[in-house]
Amino acid sequence: MRNPDPLSLDGKSFAMTQSSNSRVDPQDMSRFNYSETDGVVWGDFVGGVVQTGQAESVIVVTPSGLRLDERFIGPDGKQHTSVCEQRLNR
């Protein structure tokens, strides 16, 4: 039986704590849910200013969580870019 990779994002959920594109409401933070198989990561998010969506991101692991440089489609139907910080939900 393989031990799970401690760096894997599979099954982990993060809350956005900062964003370069929008104000983060501590009462309604976007939640990011990730899956990972063989090094390929995908996810979805809900909450905050975007009710639901998918993002194409470059993910950097930081001491406090994750930093994403991302592109996403906003509620206005247009593509947006953002840099956001996320912390692991416990």
Return the structure tokens found at 75.
Answer: 């509620």
Closest CA to 49 of 70, 73, 75, 27: 75
Q: Give the whole-angstrom CA distance, residue 82 versus residue 63.
A: 20
Amino acid 49: pLDDT: 66
Amino acid 9: pLDDT: 84
> pLDDT tens for residues 7-32?
788 898 888 888 777 778 888 888 88
- pTM of the predicted structure, to 2 decimals: 0.64
Amino acid 1: pLDDT: 45
> pLDDT tens for residues 34-69?
888 877 788 887 777 665 566 667 778 888 888 877
